Chain A
Amino acid sequence: MSKDINKSARIKLLISRIVVYGILIFLAFLCLFFFYLMIINSTRSNAQLKTGFTVIPGGHMLENFINAWNDGSINIPVGMKNSFIVSSMCAVLTTYFSALTAYGTYVYDFKYKSLVHIFILAIMMIPAQVSAVGFIQLAYKYNLTNKLWMLIIPSIAAPSVYFYMRQYLEATLPLEMVEAARIDGSSEFRIFNTIVLPIMKPAVAVQMIFSFVGSWNNYFMPALLLNKAEKKTVPIMIAQLRSADYSKFDMGKVYMLMLMAILPVMVIYIILSKSIIKGVTSGSVKG
C-alpha cells in the first residue's frame, strides 16, 4: 500500500519535473533564439540573406565586419570609442563619489545628516527625463551640446548607487575600524581611500558593471545632446540604422553592426554573470 503511494508520488514528481524543465528550456530558447539569428545573419552576405531562412552560418563574417567597420555613414569605431569613454568614466565616477557620499552620511555626525539621507532617497525615483527639458535647454544656451563630459559629470550624483553603497557600508564597515585608523594618525580622506574603499571593493565592482552597462546602452539623453557624427555614441548609431532608408542597406553589415553594439556588454556578462546576478538582488530591497 505505502509502496504504491510512494510510486505514484514518484511518478507525479517525475511528470512535474519534465513539465518544469520543458518550460525552462522553452524560455531559455526564446531568450537565445533572436540573438542566435543575429549572429548567424551577421555571417551571411546580403545575397545569402535574400535567399531564405537558415540557422547555418554563411562564412562572410570577416567581410561583414570589414564593411561594418569602414561604413561611410555609420562610423562604428568612433561610436564605440565615444561609448567606451563615457561608460568607463561614468563607472569610475559614479562608484567613487557614491561611496564617498555614503561614507559621509554613515560615519560622520552633522546637523542635517538624516535629512540629507532622506533627501537622496526621495529623489531616487525621479526619472531622468524630468530634467531633460531644462538640461537640453541649458546645453543649447551655453553651447554644450556634443560634449561627452556633459554625459559623464552628472553620474557623480547617482542616488540609487548611493543607496546601495550606504547599505553595504552599514553591513560591512565597523566604526571601530575608522576610530583605530584615526588613532594611528591617518587623515580622514586617507582613511576613506586606503581603508574603506578596499573594504567596499565587491560593492564598487558590482556597481561599476551596472553603471558601465547602463551608460553603454543609454539612448534617450545622448540622442538629444549629441548630433555631430564624431561625437555620437553606439545606441544613436543603431537608431540611425533604423531611420535610414532600409532597402539600400547591406543587411549582413546591419546585423554585424548590431552584434558589435552589444558585444562588449555580452563579453562582460559571460565573464562576470555570477556576480552580476548576485548584484541584482543585493541592491534592490532593503534587508
Chain B
Amino acid sequence: MSVKKVSGNKSVSYARYGYLFILPFFVVYAIFTLYPQMLTIYNSFFEYYRDGLTIVGPNFVGMKNYVALFTKNSSGYIPLFKFLGNTVWLWLLGAVPQFVIAMMLAIFFTSTRLNIRGQQFFKTVIYMPNLIMASAFSMLFFALFSQVGPINQLLVEMGVIDKAFNFLGVRVTVQSLIALMNFLMWFGNTTILLMAGIQGIDESLFESARLDGSNATQVFFNITMPLLMPIFIYVLITSMIGGIQMFDVPQVLTNGIGTPNNTSMTLIMYLNNFLGTSKNYGMAGAVSVLLFIITAILSTFVFKTINKK
C-alpha cells in the first residue's frame, strides 16, 4: 500500500521490472520443482518400473498403485500404514522430550528470578547438534553403539552387562537411539524458538501477576502458555512436518532396511526404496502424493496460526 503513496502513478511504468525480478525464481521453480511434481502425480497413475534390464510401462493403471499401497503384503500387514505408524511413533519418541525439555529451558533462560549466567554458552552448545550432518551423526551412533564400539566397552568395563549388547538388533534400543538423536538435534532449536516467544510477551503481565501473589505454576498456565500458544503450535506443526520427512538418521543407522523387522522403516525410507534399483516411479509417485496430502493438511494449520498473530 505504501508503494502507491510513494511512487504514485509512476508505479505503472515500473511494473515490468517486478516481473523481470521475479522471473528467475519462477522459471527455475517451474522446471526443477513444479514440473517434476506434476510428473510425480502423473506417474502415480501408471505402472512404470524396472525389472532387471527391462523397463515395464508406462502403462495407465488408474488407481491401482493406490490400491496396492493399501493392500496387505505377504507378511500380513499394510506396509504404508506400518511405515507411517513407525514414522509418527519415532517422531513422538523424540518430540515429547524435546518439547518438554525445551519448554523448561526456555522458562529457565527467561526467568529474571533465576538469572541464569552463561546463557550464550549453553545455547551455543545445545543448538550445535542441529547443524551436524544427520547422516554422519547417525553413522557416529552406529559406530559408538555397535557390538565392538566404545559404549559396549564402557558398559562391560563398568560391569553393567556381561558381554556386548546388540543395540542395533533390538527394536526398543534402535527406536530409542533414533529418538535420542532426533531429540539432541532438535531440542536446542526448539528452546531458542520458544524462548523468543516468551520474550515477546509483555513483561508487565508477569510483574503484575507476581504482585498479585501468583506462584510460578499459576504464571505458567495462566499467562505464559496461553500467550505462547500461537508460537508453540507453529513450532509443533513444523516439527511434525519435519518428522514426517524423517530419513537420514534411521536410513544410515539401519543401513536402509529399518531393522529389526521393518520396525524403524519410515515413510521416506519406503519411498526411497522404490527409487532404488527398481525405479518404481508408479508406486513412488503414489507414496509422494500421500506425503503431499499429509503435509498440506499440516501446513494449513501453520498458516492459520501465522494469520492469527
Q: Report if A254 contacts B (CB, 8 A).
A: yes
How near does chain A come to B257, taking the closest CB pair, in angstroms? 10
B135 and A239 contact, CB distance less than 8 A: yes
B299 and A125 contact, CB distance less than 8 A: yes
Number of residue pairs spanning A and B whose beta carbons lie under 8 angstroms apart: 300
Question: What are the 5 A-B residue pairs with the smallest beta carbon separation, nearest first?
Answer: A108-B18, A104-B21, A134-B39, A134-B36, A157-B29
A7-35, CB < 8 A from B: 13, 16-17, 20-21, 23-24, 27-28, 30-32, 34-35
How near does chain B come to A158, taking the closest CB pair, in angstroms? 8
Not counting A27-B101, A109-B11, A239-B252, a sample of 15 additional A-B residue pairs whose C-beta atoms are within 8 angstroms of each other reads A16-B114, A32-B125, A104-B17, A104-B19, A105-B22, A109-B12, A123-B29, A130-B292, A134-B40, A134-B42, A134-B285, A242-B255, A269-B131, A281-B192, A285-B193
B192 and A277 contact, CB distance less than 8 A: yes
28 A–B contact pairs at CB < 8 A? A28-B126, A32-B128, A53-B153, A97-B25, A100-B24, A101-B24, A121-B303, A125-B241, A125-B296, A129-B247, A133-B36, A134-B285, A157-B25, A175-B2, A175-B3, A217-B133, A220-B247, A239-B135, A242-B253, A274-B120, A277-B124, A280-B127, A280-B193, A284-B234, A285-B196, A285-B197, A285-B306, A287-B200
Give CA–CA (A238, B2) in the complex, Å.
Answer: 51
B154 and A53 contact, CB distance less than 8 A: yes
B24-46, CB < 8 A from A: 24-26, 28-29, 32-40, 42-43
Q: Which of B71-79, B85-93, B143-151, B201-209 contacts A (4 or more CB under 8 A)?
A: B143-151
A180-232, CB < 8 A from B: 188, 192, 213, 216-217, 219-220, 224
- The main secondary structure of chain A at its interface with chain B is helix
B288 and A129 contact, CB distance less than 8 A: yes
B17 and A129 contact, CB distance less than 8 A: no
B196 and A34 contact, CB distance less than 8 A: no
> A residues within 8 A CB of B134?
217, 219
Among B28, B247, B256, point to the contact of A156 (Cβ < 8 A). Answer: B28
Among A52, A157, A258, point to the contact of B28 (Cβ < 8 A). Answer: A157
A49 — nearest CB in chain B belongs to which residue? Answer: B150
Q: Report if A172 contacts B (CB, 8 A).
A: no
B18 and A110 contact, CB distance less than 8 A: yes
A242-256, CB < 8 A from B: 242-243, 246, 251, 254-255
Give CA–CA (A112, B244) in the complex, Å.
Answer: 33
A154 and B33 contact, CB distance less than 8 A: yes
Interface residues of B, count at CB 8 A: 115
Residues of A within 8 A of B (CB): 13, 16-17, 20-21, 23-24, 27-28, 30-32, 34-35, 37-38, 41, 49-50, 52-53, 97-98, 100-101, 103-105, 107-111, 113, 116, 120-121, 123-127, 129-138, 140, 153-154, 156-157, 162, 175-176, 179, 188, 192, 213, 216-217, 219-220, 224, 234-235, 238-239, 241-243, 246, 251, 254-255, 258, 261-262, 265-266, 269, 273-274, 276-277, 280-281, 284-287
> B residues within 8 A CB of A129?
245, 247, 268, 271, 288, 291
Give CA–CA (A216, B169) in the complex, Å.
Answer: 30
> B residues within 8 A CB of A258?
136, 139-140, 143
B37 and A24 contact, CB distance less than 8 A: no
> A residues within 8 A CB of B148?
50
Q: Report if B174 contacts A (CB, 8 A).
A: no
How near does chain B come to A74, taking the closest CB pair, in angstroms? 12
A224 and B275 contact, CB distance less than 8 A: yes
Residue in B3, B133, B200 whose Cβ sees the most chain A Cβ within 10 Å:
B133
Give CA–CA (A156, B29) in the complex, Å.
Answer: 8
Q: Report if B272 contacts A (CB, 8 A).
A: yes
Among B11, B14, B135, point to the contact of A235 (Cβ < 8 A). Answer: B135
A137 and B281 contact, CB distance less than 8 A: yes
B18 and A104 contact, CB distance less than 8 A: yes
Among A30, A157, A234, point to the contact of B33 (Cβ < 8 A). Answer: A157
> A residues within 8 A CB of B245?
127, 129
> A residues within 8 A CB of B195?
281
A29 — nearest CB in chain B belongs to which residue? Answer: B125
B268 and A220 contact, CB distance less than 8 A: yes
